[in-house]
A and B are shown apart, each in its own frame.
Chain A
Amino acid sequence: MTETGDPGQQSWRQLGILPAIEYWIATVQGFWAASAETNSYMEASGKAEQELEKIEQQIVQLESAAGDNQEAHRQLAMLQEQVANLRKQVTAAMGPWQRTELARHPQRPYMLDWVELMFTDWSELHGDRRFGDDPALVCGMAKFHGEDVLVIGHQKGRDVKQRVHRNFGQANPEGYRKAMRLMRLAEKFNRPIFTFVDTQGAYPGLGAEERGQAEAIAYNLREMAKLTVPVIVTVTGEGGSGGALAIAIGDRVLMLENSVYSVISPEGCASIMWRDSTKRELAAQALRITAPDMMEMGIIDAIVPEPPGGAHRDYQGAAAALDAVLQTNLAELKKLTVQQLLDGRYNKFRKMAQFFTEE
């Protein structure tokens, strides 16, 4: 029984776990391939994702059980790679609705996670000096690789209490006014601005209307076009309509691979256009909201890749990729004069949406 002279490996094989896992992966692969043929990605990707998660858990358990058996580790690593590859396929083929779900994933890194992952010396700044402070839109001073910058972003909550406190990341007028006040501060002291967009939309409430939600957003759109410091926007989760745009006028607009950017939520669109909010998958498809769509339509400058399966699976990996892109873009923008910066920003938005014919 000792062909290789390694009893550990032998008992390992006898357990037959590795072939079993291999078979399991093959099953998922087969299921996935079949779904590709019938074009039923929608349900399939969710199910495949679930299975892969289970497989991965098994692999992790086996890793610890394998001890110092090198051969077992090698094989496990190979299986791990197979899982990652398959996951990449599944993610790549994911429909716009699945991406929306991924963009809304409760474990997805939020604004304050990004701050912790990529910035140092964070200190939050509060209030619009007019009405109040808005916890749904967070602003603060921070250092980015040693350089002082202003960071702004929508913050969602993870548990019920946090969600209520953050109003589900849906800002009120005071949030947008706070952001503008602090962008002016950054401008005064010549600090670059990073914004992180992740909101379903501006809050559609009674008080928000009374305090001028529309005016607050409109004012930001106009004033951000005038800022004399570099502004780098990253859509990290949901780019929900005007509430997103109000902090998204920048010299660079980036999107994470699995984020979405839209004029209305798929549910909202479905209930208006199809009069049936369950048609959200159709609506998501029709609205063209994914990062590659935005790239194709010239709305964004770059797509930042996420770790296989999404940013929520690997915060460090996601942050490392984004950090590198932010650094390059900031370095590029800092070379420009103020006039070049302003002209560049104007032309960027001026040239957008050229989807018409002129006789």
Chain B
Amino acid sequence: MSWFKRQSQDFDTSGERKVKTEGLWVKCDQCRQIIWKKDLEENLHVCPKCDKHFRIDARTRLAQLFDNGEYTMEDGNLSSTDPLKFTDLKPYAARLKAAQKQTGLKDAIINARGLILGKPVIISAMEYSFIGGSMGAVVGETITRAIEKATKERIPIIIISASGGARMMEGTISLMTLAKISAALARLDQAGMPFISVLTDPTTGGVTASFAMLGDLNIGEPGALIGFAGPRVIEQTIRQKLPEGFQRSEFLLEHGMLDAVVHRRDLKNYIARAFEFMAVRKQGA
């Protein structure tokens, strides 16, 4: 316990944007630098001052990775049937509709095909702004299809995670998607095909506890929150404050869970390099 408490609330780090500049300027919630939005975009949504990696949507991510930002989307026509008819404070069906309208996607995932430094690659990218990137039947099926295509057509695959975990509103069904995707990855693995998992901010729960940790390489973005249980749950369980930097990419790297933490500007080249390494398969695979 410190003797003195800060009176002023100037240094609020809640992450909320206080200055409303209508989209021209963005404040970095790490170093509080005011950044011109165009500068930020040119810098791949990384703060030019402190290197904080801002969250980006799935389409921006895909455009950054594929050659010339060109790719074709696949399997984007699946939508949830709300199997449990789940209603908490708001019906799940309404949440789905709102998220679909807001993101222009049917669910929290995009399967895409394109070239990375001239070589074909399949990417399955999660969309965090769609109900927290949560994984239900649709996300599970879509990722599974991407993996099955990669296995069958012998194309390397990348899965980019950004998710709070399984989608509660689809109950045990969403839990079963962990099993489904992992089983597909078992076949991919046995076929000797490479899979790179990119973990971005945030990757937690059932997503971490399935495909996100199963890459031939697991790559984290700097500063990304990555873990199994959420920080609040852990604090409640052990009844103490968590140390600074706990469950961040760098922490996971230190504890042997990631192969590397890679800056966004280097990610594409890093992936291309890794696929080059993994281009020769073992005999018989």
Contact = CB atoms under 8 A, between A and B. Distances in A.
A214 B227 contact: yes
B124 interface: no
Interface string B65-89: 0000000000001111101101111
Contacts of A188: none
Given A205-B237, A241-B206, A356-B81, A350 B173 contact: no
Interface string A209-244: 111111101110111011000000000000101100
Contacts of B168: 263-264, 269, 272-273, 287
A245 B174 CA distance: 12
A356 B84 CA distance: 12
Given A350-B184, A358-B77, A286 B86 contact: yes
Nearest to B211: A218
B176 A355 contact: no
A226 B80 CA distance: 29
Interface string A181-223: 0000000000000000000001111101111111101110111
Contact of A355 (B77, B170, B233, B238): B170
A287 B85 CA distance: 9
B272 to A, nearest CB: 25
B257 interface: yes
Interface string A234-269: 000001011001101100000000000111100011
A218 B182 contact: yes
9 contacts: A204-B228, A206-B242, A209-B228, A221-B183, A263-B170, A346-B186, A353-B173, A355-B137, A358-B77
B138 A356 contact: yes
Contact of B140 (A206, A273, A353): A353
B227 to A, nearest CB: 6
B54 to A, nearest CB: 24
B172 A261 contact: yes
A144 to B, nearest CB: 25
Contacts of B86: 286-287
Interface of B: 77-81, 83-84, 86-89, 136-138, 140-141, 144, 166, 168, 170-180, 182-187, 189-190, 205-206, 208-214, 227-229, 233-234, 237-238, 242, 246-247, 255-257
B142 to A, nearest CB: 9
A31 interface: no
Nearest to A207: B238
Contacts of A274: 88-89
A268 B233 CA distance: 9
A356 B246 CA distance: 37
B89 A209 contact: no
Interface residues of A, number: 58
Contact of A219 (B79, B136, B213): B213
B248 to A, nearest CB: 11
A177 B144 CA distance: 25
B226 to A, nearest CB: 8
Contacts of B228: 202, 204, 208-209, 213-214, 217, 242
Contacts of A242: 175, 178, 205-206, 209-210, 228
Given A274-B88, A355-B170, A212 B257 contact: yes
A39 interface: no
Contact of B83 (A215, A223, A239, A355): A355
Given A212-B256, A346-B187, A356-B138, A218 B171 contact: no
Contacts of B257: 212, 214-215
A12 to B, nearest CB: 52
A60 interface: no
A273 B206 CA distance: 17
A288 interface: yes
Top 10 A-B pairs ranked by shortest CB distance?
A204-B229, A221-B182, A273-B88, A214-B208, A214-B228, A355-B83, A225-B183, A225-B186, A218-B213, A213-B228
A349 B176 contact: yes
Contact of B88 (A262, A286, A358): A286
Contacts of A293: 172
Nearest to A206: B238
A273 B237 contact: no
Contacts of A178: none
B209 A217 contact: yes
Contacts of A209: 227-229, 234, 246-247
